[in-house]
Structure 1
């Protein structure tokens, strides 16, 4: 395969992961995002990847066929390889497992039972009603049981982005800290069919462009005649400090999911609780309070917790199309965005898909 020059617009988990993956396979890559010069931390309103909790729900996905299932399975295969390559002494990265999903009704418990019977080979097991292996803090909502997935869990998105930044430097990926204001077809430069204009006035000519810009993607695509509408969905996270408990998190999984809300212990008497539940762009205080109450199922230790920090971010959800948007729109114009709640989970599979499109284009 002849290496191509590729511009990737958007440096979240998908964009940065794709840039690293393509560079590793011989492409000449530039990554463009105005936030590349900003420190990677959490405070206030954040980009999607930074705001997320990096929950990986690949094997507990309810469907067992179709594109969404195949993408999840591909990513779950690739993630251990990515972690092994990206992790270093200076920037450690770890897959935190397992994940437990608690049923909120008898009907949901029945579905979980069927799922565990079908996927024992993927590490799914049933949890019987009222099970509580915890020596200290009890689980919420245990009366219907649930399931445990030994390979699902979470990756810390902050650690992931730091690892990717370091890996991009090692692969000599050019990082440009400016917004792209327009994308045009280019007939004046041989083989470089796309021209990107940056906010500072610079024009870049590239053989291929990969758009990973989430909600910023529409403005770049519409002038080219491509309509891929997306709507913002708000995710919120609380970082809670709990009353000291000598047993702390004994018996707890890496991730516990109740009513679609993720609970992630991340240190002694510390827990993140978060979900992507709200339409629109502004957080609603009452929704945040309801999240901490777990729809009435929160145990006393959670109700009494103190809010240490909180943040929110927007996810891009495709309108009337399944997430994510993985499409080759024209020769050299590829879209890999609109991952909604699964940007971290699907980053490896998305990167592999982009590489395949570029490979097929070179062969044709």
Structure 2
């Protein structure tokens, strides 16, 4: 079968399917370069542009598909990390994640989460002045972040050990072939001979609709741009003692990097073009809480697009017809939901037809 798109969702799905015995070909033009090849370019691909934040247990909803997917992914991530550490020994879940309450109402909701989710590593933190002044907040010992570039490198190395064929080519078209009783899917790249597959899994975010529309499937997605600033601090913390791996304040994520350095990121802009004023917005909005951010110097700045489904909840996990699966539109949670998505694809293939055989 073919998997189209080699971000963390596509690569993770290809790796998982190959481990389950499927013969897998992964298509993405980015496979022809190292995962960190766009580090010199501010415009990065979705996974590389992310901070790799995992907000599984602090999710506000208590039921529904989104909650189930998050819980399943958080249960699978320790297994994935252990397996991937063979290739990147330093890969680990950096924790905890702390969310600060903006007001008393938010703090009450946090108290409710702690009461409902006993055993999931959630704790209330009291009002404090140091390291950050706040009314209080929520600490999640099992949430945090994964370093996204390290994760992608590990997945590429892991795929090589289970014989995933990696094609550095852009898929331009999909065509139905075969018969009603034995459907096949032709993958056309324009750069090499076409190949037919028993199944195709589309994990191409904003490019998904371009492949689906000619087949009669409309799944529009809108771009939402996230930005990250690597800041050098002139004032404020000289080290990160007592700081969490991720601090979430007013919808922004702060990630300690090294002494005197901090990553600040958020997904906040509709559209596909980075707005320079968004940098000032991030710093200004947090400046009243963290005044030392006002004197920080940007060392590096990058951005990337997230695919948000239109009029449908994220992510889009659908079997559109026999052998055609969509696993895309994860919006801000591609890294978080990669394991649960891969498992969903594998189970969907197992259920769809006995014609999908292990190889």
Deviation at 1:287, TM superposition (A): 1.4
Q: Distance in 2 between matches of 1:189 and 1:37?
A: 36
Please state if 1:128 is matched with 2:126: yes
User: What value does the CA root-mean-square deviation take over the aligned residues?
Assistant: 1.7
The residue number in structure 2 matching 1:152 is 143
The residue number in structure 1 matching 2:55 is 57
Cα pair 1:31 1:176 within 8 Å, conserved: yes
5+ long unaligned stretches in structure 2: none
Residue 105 and residue 263 in structure 1: after superposition, are their counterparts in 2 closer, same or farther (change >3 A)? same
Q: Distance in 2 between matches of 1:179 and 1:265?
A: 36
Deviation at 1:293, TM superposition (A): 2.8
If the length of structure 1 is used for normalisation, what is the TM-score? Answer: 0.93
Q: Distance in 1 between matches of 2:86 and 2:62?
A: 35
Cα pair 1:292 1:298 within 8 Å, conserved: no
Cα pair 1:189 1:205 within 8 Å, conserved: no
Residue 333 and residue 327 in structure 1: after superposition, are their counterparts in 2 closer, same or farther (change >3 A)? same
> What do residues 109-162 of structure 1 show as CA deviations (whole Å, max 9, x unaligned)?
111111111113101111112253xxxxx32x51x2111000000001000000
The residue number in structure 1 matching 2:165 is 174
Comparing 300-309 and 21-30, the one that deviates more:
300-309
Q: Distance in 2 between matches of 1:11 and 1:207?
A: 19
5+ long unaligned stretches in structure 1: 1-5, 133-137
> What do residues 147-200 of structure 1 show as CA deviations (whole Å, max 9, x unaligned)?
100000000100000000100111111000111111010027994610111121
> What do residues 288-313 of structure 1 show as CA deviations (whole Å, max 9, x unaligned)?
11112334434232221111101000
Q: How does 1:26-45 map to 2 (within 5 A)?
A: 26-41=21-36, 42=39, 43-45=41-43
Residue 345 and residue 200 in structure 1: after superposition, are their counterparts in 2 closer, same or farther (change >3 A)? same
Comparing 247-256 and 190-199, the one that deviates more:
190-199
Q: Distance in 2 between matches of 1:63 and 1:202?
A: 47
Q: Distance in 1 between matches of 2:100 and 2:201?
A: 38
The residue number in structure 1 matching 2:13 is 18
Deviation at 1:102, TM superposition (A): 0.3
SS at match of 2:174: strand
SS at match of 2:94: coil
Partner of residue 103 from structure 1, selected from 101, 104, 112:
101
SS at match of 1:352: helix
Partner of residue 341 from structure 2, selected from 345, 350, 355:
350
SS at match of 2:178: coil
If the length of structure 2 is used for normalisation, what is the TM-score? Answer: 0.94
Q: Distance in 1 between matches of 2:179 and 2:64?
A: 41
